[in-house]
Structure 1
Amino acid sequence: MVMAAALALTFGLSGCVPWFLPKPAPATSTPTGEKVDAALEPFYSQTLAWKECGSGLQCATATAPMDWTDPAAGDINLALVRHPATGKRLGSLLVNPGGPGASGYDFIKDSLNYATDAKLRTGYDIVGFDPRGVGRSSAVKCYEPAQMDEYLYGLPDAQRGSDAWIAELEKSAADFGAACQANTGALLGHVDTINAARDLDLLRAALGDTTLNYLGYSYGTFLGATYANLYPKKVGRLVLDGAVDPSTSNFDVTRIQAEGFESALRAFLTDCLAASKCPFTGSVDEGMATVRALLDSVDASPITAADGRRLGSSALLTAIIYPLYQATAWKYLRDMFASVMQGDAAYAFQFADAYNGRNPDGSYADNSSEAFTAINCVDYGYNDDPASMRAQAAELEKAAPVIGKYMTFGDISCANWPYTFAGERTALHASGADPILVVGTTNDPATPYVWAQNLARQLDSGHLVTYTGEGHTAYNKSNSCVNDAVDNYLLDGTVPKNDPKC
């Protein structure tokens, strides 16, 4: 997560407001008034009441049906925050930071300048929202902090891959799912992306926009593509940055991500070995072998931290992956590796905790880990047949020899979830939609470039923008080529004639 400080500029005014200042944003949003089914009319016709909530931001709450197939079954709340346009207003731009489970509300509230550049903030009301199941909206709730610590950081007693080890993980997953069901209730069965995409259409209408303008990062690209497939004629200007391939199975997601993070780790080691302070020596291949040995070492003999938690391979892998998302964090990854090599777990837990949303005092800043599991468990199909999982584990280790071993048996988390995936993972075409921009980074470890290529081909109106570089997502990260392509599209509707290959 990257936090950006917002600078507020105030004027001492008396008498009248100068003509050159933008009009203040209205206190309410006027819905579009479009015709919908009678059961949905109360949701689509609702008026959003905005209240000041600091630093030039306004906040509101929308109401949505918990189950879009049965609107009378109950309501949920969706939390929104917006930064009103500072210039000539084009409409609303809804922003989703990914996850699934990340808070779009916090993303805009805390990191507005990171989420969007000044040009977009001039032309659009920038709207962040927490999707269903997330954060300030009607949210998934599973465990208290101490229980979350055990679920995320607890170490199995049995040897990795053994029948006893699988049984331990299955019990942990089943207990977690049961707690989520007990503490969340019926909402747990309705946090899938299709329901969330229908929420997006409701928000569009409540904001008064006849078409959806949207900027989605990472998982947010899947949410945006799902929306486009459901409502192609309501697509305005959609940017999907760090694309997810909608047709990819859960195992293929894991395999391709393992290859992506393995590639990013090699790029990190290449950079590290050329630096003056690098804990690795020799070649990149020797560095990769050292990382594998380190993971094996803490798996066999975990390092105990000052707070009593033990650093095993799972937490260490999370600590490695977290700074691989952006090349600007590689210098901190060097320091983390050096500390673990010296038997110190503190730095690694800082990274793992940041990834998991855990505060230094042991509390959790949000429910992102709980929502991540709950959403993924109903968005994909899973299989916990031991023979099948072991075959997939062998394939994963072959694809990513260093870290693949520690990303195996992932189906266990969701195979016995209280609710199951009811659809199919398939290509989304959004036939009839206006042009959609898909942005991909060539060495993105979390959403590998091949997914952006696939999504741009699948969407009938998809247009690919390639950024040659490292890191997860590309917009608003100091590359003028990418920024120009995105800004020109969102502000003027200009679609690149060809991939600019930034």
Structure 2
Amino acid sequence: MARPPRHAVGAALPRLVALLGLVAVLAACTVGPSERPPVAVRGENVPAAPGQTTPTPPPVLPEPEPQSANIPFFECTEDTLVTLVEPVPADRNLQVDCGELTVPADPDQPSLGAVTLGVIRVGEAGAPADRPPLLVLGDSTREPSTRHAAIMAGQVDPALLQHFTLVGLDRRGAGEDILHCAPDDARAALVDADAESTGEGGLALLLEQARAVVQECNLTLDGGLGSYRTAATAADIELLRAALGVEQLSAVGVGDGATALSAWARAAPRSVGRLVLDGPTHPTQDEPDLTASRAAAAEAALGAFGVACSARPDCPLGADPRATIEALLNQLKRQPLVSAEGERLTAGATVTALLAGLGEPRRWPGLAAALAAAHAGDPVPMLTILAPLTGPRGLFDGMLATSCNDAQRRLAPGEIGDVAQRWTSAYPTFGSTFALRLLACAPWPTGRKATQAGQAEGAPPILVIGTAADPRGSLDGSRRTADSLATARFVSWQGAGTGAYPRTSCVSGIVDSMLLYGVVPDSGTLCPP
């Protein structure tokens, strides 16, 4: 049973300072006269009802607890930080500790044994070992969560590292539990598939490759393929909380990492500390509607990418980046590019790499340069972007397994052909690729129905963030998650990318005030791009 919230001595002053700081942040987010909706304000700006005299007391968030971990960590700072693309800023001196967490291979099938997941702690060098933990759980299509935690430690306000140690828990299928089981030819066929594969014959050939993936992975995993699902990650979170020795765990989740944290909060609301769900997927939507919403969001993200590039005087994609990209894709459909090492860059592979790149706006200049290089005949930069997904120990098999296992409905090839025709018109860049991903899941065993264990009644206030142009999930899906949680507060960001925190000062100010000082924002707050 969770202990009552503990409040540090003198907590009132930091709370007042945080409130004033949050007001300043929100004021800074407000724009002048415009036809756009007001930003960084509460709900619909409806005044208090006449005669309302009794103020509602502010919700109370639990104080972060010191950790008492029983995980045998070892120091791994140099080995971890040297792998980061961007160096750690000079204003912080980090220490990284690595460990492992053993969990059931499948929470629903104990007979399948156990698997080992990587765990990392990132904090200030010399910080107390019992500093409260803040779990960071990333999306299954991005870098492993251990790496995501190290990256975030270099991006957040240093004040956060003075109060928390960031903890990364690898998702199933990534990191130490990397899933790399598909035959190389079958994986390449799924990645390379494009609009030319949506005819009856193309769909039949692609379905055979999808069957080959399922058969080989089932043999490799001895029937445990279904364990790679978001619901299993939710069970892993509760085991991690116990292993860290806290009764209420604070956490930030991104994409389907946020979805896993949402499921955990529903199942164990008394275990929830200060929780931020950044871009969770729709809580009840199934295929093909879920993928259609992602295709629409990806098109919006591509539009934002084009605007950002063309606003620069040195945009390598010219005055109309989207037209340049479409010309490249049409060129690759006719004739893929081949590197000196014999690697092929196809239209389908380019769309896959483009989707991965759109999720991280910090790397958009590099993505634009890679697309321009491919347009000029050099495939190597785009192949480099694709390598973490499809190369040796890549993420593709794990993200495919997670998405297929999370979906309940399987579509027949004929249905997918019809969907592809509609989506190619509605979502010209990404429609056919997303439709063919439905075919990749067609031969998989039907996904297990995830139980909705209530609305997390009894949990403290939960912050849910939605992003307008997130290629991994729609803004409406995040809003629906907030609607389905009893204590949620919803904040939307009119920007692009997977994960709004800590990309923008408006969102960062809200999240940091909640995590550091327990200041809960008004639901309906809107942050500008």
1:465 aligns with 2:491: yes
Contact 1:298 1:311 in 2 (8 A): yes
Q: Which amino acid aligns with 1:132?
A: R
Q: Which amino acid aligns with 1:322?
A: A
* Partner in structure 2 of residue 5 of structure 1: none
Aligned pairs for 1:320-399 (under 5 A) are 320-354=354-388, 356=389, 358=391, 364=392, 366-399=393-426
Whole-angstrom CA distance in 1 between matches of 2:146 and 2:162 = 19
- When normalised by structure 1's length, the TM-score is 0.80
* Partner in structure 2 of residue 98 of structure 1: 139
Whole-angstrom CA distance in 1 between matches of 2:462 and 2:192 = 43
- Of 417, 438, 445 in structure 1, the residue corresponding to residue 471 of structure 2 is 445
Q: Percent identity?
A: 29
Tell me the SS of whatever aligns to 2:463.
Answer: strand
Q: Displacement of 1:496 after TM fit?
A: 1.0
* Partner in structure 1 of residue 160 of structure 2: 120
Q: Displacement of 1:288 after TM fit?
A: 3.9
* Partner in structure 2 of residue 490 of structure 1: 515
Q: Which amino acid aligns with 1:150?
A: A
Whole-angstrom CA distance in 2 between matches of 1:203 and 1:167 = 43
Tell me the SS of whatever aligns to 1:61.
Answer: strand
- Of 208, 224, 233 in structure 1, the residue corresponding to residue 270 of structure 2 is 233
1:190 aligns with 2:256: no
Contact 2:155 2:502 in 1 (8 A): yes
Q: 1:159/1:128 Cα in 2 relative to 1: closer, same or farther (>3 Å)?
A: closer
Q: Displacement of 1:196 after TM fit?
A: 1.7
Tell me the SS of whatever aligns to 2:436.
Answer: coil
Tell me the SS of whatever aligns to 1:95.
Answer: strand
Measured against aligned partners, the alpha-carbon deviations of 1:207-255 in whole angstroms (never above 9, x if no partner) come to 1111121111111111110101111222111111122222222322321
Measured against aligned partners, the alpha-carbon deviations of 1:280-320 in whole angstroms (never above 9, x if no partner) come to 566x5xx5455334323311222222222222211111233
* Partner in structure 1 of residue 188 of structure 2: 150
- Of 221, 237, 256 in structure 2, the residue corresponding to residue 200 of structure 1 is 237
Aligned pairs for 1:128-167 (under 5 A) are 128-137=168-177, 139-143=178-182, 150-151=188-189, 159-167=196-204
Q: Displacement of 1:377 after TM fit?
A: 1.7
Q: 1:484/1:73 Cα in 2 relative to 1: closer, same or farther (>3 Å)?
A: same
* Partner in structure 2 of residue 178 of structure 1: 215
Q: 1:272/1:68 Cα in 2 relative to 1: closer, same or farther (>3 Å)?
A: closer
Contact 2:420 2:435 in 1 (8 A): yes
Q: 1:94/1:357 Cα in 2 relative to 1: closer, same or farther (>3 Å)?
A: farther
* Partner in structure 2 of residue 83 of structure 1: 122
Q: Which runs of 5+ in 1 are unaligned?
A: 1-27, 32-46, 359-363
Contact 1:279 1:338 in 2 (8 A): yes
Relative contact order (C-alpha < 8 Å, sep 6+): which is higher?
A: 2
Aligned residues between the structures: 444
- Of 61, 65, 71 in structure 2, the residue corresponding to residue 48 of structure 1 is 71
Q: Displacement of 1:357 after TM fit?
A: 5.8
Contact 1:318 1:351 in 2 (8 A): no
Greater displacement, 230-239 / 56-65: 56-65
Q: 1:349/1:67 Cα in 2 relative to 1: closer, same or farther (>3 Å)?
A: closer
Measured against aligned partners, the alpha-carbon deviations of 1:334-379 in whole angstroms (never above 9, x if no partner) come to 323332332332222222224x163xxxxx2x34211111122211
* Partner in structure 2 of residue 410 of structure 1: 437
Q: 1:484/1:303 Cα in 2 relative to 1: closer, same or farther (>3 Å)?
A: same
Q: Which amino acid aligns with 1:323?
A: G
Please provide the CA RMSD for this pair.
2.9
* Partner in structure 2 of residue 481 of structure 1: 506
Whole-angstrom CA distance in 2 between matches of 1:134 and 1:217 = 15
Aligned pairs for 1:253-264 (under 5 A) are 253-264=290-301
Tell me the SS of whatever aligns to 1:80.
Answer: strand
Whole-angstrom CA distance in 2 between matches of 1:293 and 1:425 = 45
Q: Which amino acid aligns with 2:419?
A: Q
Whole-angstrom CA distance in 1 between matches of 2:193 and 2:303 = 28
Measured against aligned partners, the alpha-carbon deviations of 1:79-106 in whole angstroms (never above 9, x if no partner) come to 2111356369662211111115741122
- Of 249, 258, 261 in structure 2, the residue corresponding to residue 221 of structure 1 is 258
Q: 1:114/1:176 Cα in 2 relative to 1: closer, same or farther (>3 Å)?
A: farther
Q: Which amino acid aligns with 1:421?
A: G
1:67 aligns with 2:106: yes
- Of 314, 317, 341 in structure 1, the residue corresponding to residue 348 of structure 2 is 314
Q: Which amino acid aligns with 2:467?
A: T
Whole-angstrom CA distance in 1 between matches of 2:210 and 2:381 = 27
Q: Displacement of 1:132 after TM fit?
A: 3.0
Q: Which amino acid aligns with 1:60?
A: G
Greater displacement, 271-280 / 396-405: 271-280
Whole-angstrom CA distance in 2 between matches of 1:101 and 1:461 = 29
Q: Which amino acid aligns with 1:406?
A: T
Tell me the SS of whatever aligns to 1:408.
Answer: helix
Q: 1:472/1:375 Cα in 2 relative to 1: closer, same or farther (>3 Å)?
A: closer
Q: Displacement of 1:186 after TM fit?
A: 3.7
Runs of 4+ in 1 over 6 A off after TM superposition: 425-428
1:247 aligns with 2:284: yes
Q: Displacement of 1:143 after TM fit?
A: 4.3
* Partner in structure 1 of residue 10 of structure 2: none
Q: 1:403/1:198 Cα in 2 relative to 1: closer, same or farther (>3 Å)?
A: closer
Q: Which runs of 5+ in 2 are unaligned?
A: 1-65, 79-94
1:211 aligns with 2:252: no
